[in-house]
Amino acid sequence: MPRQLVHRAAVAETLLTGWRRTGTDRFTVSAQWPRAHGLHVSQDWSSYDPLLVVETIRQSGTLITHAEYDVPLDHQFVLQEFHVRTALGRLGVGPLPAEPEVDLVFTDLQYRGRRPAAARYTAHVLREGDRVATADVAFTCVSGPVYRRLRGGRTPDTVTAVPVPPGLPAASVDRALASDVVLAATDRPARWQLRVDTAHPVFFDHPLDHVPGMLLLEGARQAARLRTGGGRAPVAYRAHFHRYAELDEPVWFEAQDGHGTDVRVRGVQGESAVFECLVDTARR
């Protein structure tokens, strides 16, 4: 799969292998999940992380928007909502790389001229016929010139990220490497600073002028693990992206208990929320 179609620079981070149209605004995307991955496979190589499912669904929607709806490659995609629920028991790593399929249905297409400017899609991720995840995603897409006007001159070359503070112990957020810890301690309980390391090869697979959505979701994942004391694992994310999280201002994460097994996570920059996510958890 051409990596440009999924907004990736590294072939190793390109999860998709093909696609086909199955009906009006319906498509099936094929993928392959590696048996080892620095972020998205457990340390003992026994299970895939639900955020690998999220990235697969994100790439699938991006691919179809470019390949089937003719949105040019220089257009920028802006996530608004990403709701996903996974079946943790069906995310085990087997003796061969998993080869899931993602069934997509596009709805609520809004056009600017002949091309979509916004859309919503649902996704069902199947592995050997078993459903391992369902998702609902809403996004907008804007042309390069419009995006540059929206960003007011902010580019990867003109924006400098805030210094990266020391991270929490890797084991506390179920990470093997200190470089994969995305939260730093503060002087308040259940509040952390997001560590935005623009050299990270997965979150910043290519230069960006803002904090990527997958880094915000990883922050929610780690905050939920901390809030639950490590005894529960995230299985579902209900994320809302309110505005761009800028690189040159600190992003603060706050977590509190929700209803039942939920954890409410909020990302704040300045005086307003940039991101809110309800993380559902299950016993590990």
Q: Residues 112-157: pLDDT tens digits?
A: 988 899 999 999 999 999 999 999 999 999 999 999 999 999 999 9
- The whole-number pLDDT of residue 49 equals 96
Q: Residue 193 forms beta bridges with which residues?
A: 184, 252
Parts of the chain with a pLDDT under 50:
none
User: Which domains are seen in the chain, by residue range?
Assistant: 3-149 (3.10.129.10), 153-283 (3.10.129.10)
- The whole-number pLDDT of residue 20 equals 98
Residues 166 and 185: their CA atoms lie apart, in Å, by 8
Amino acid symbol at 103: D
- The whole-number pLDDT of residue 284 equals 76
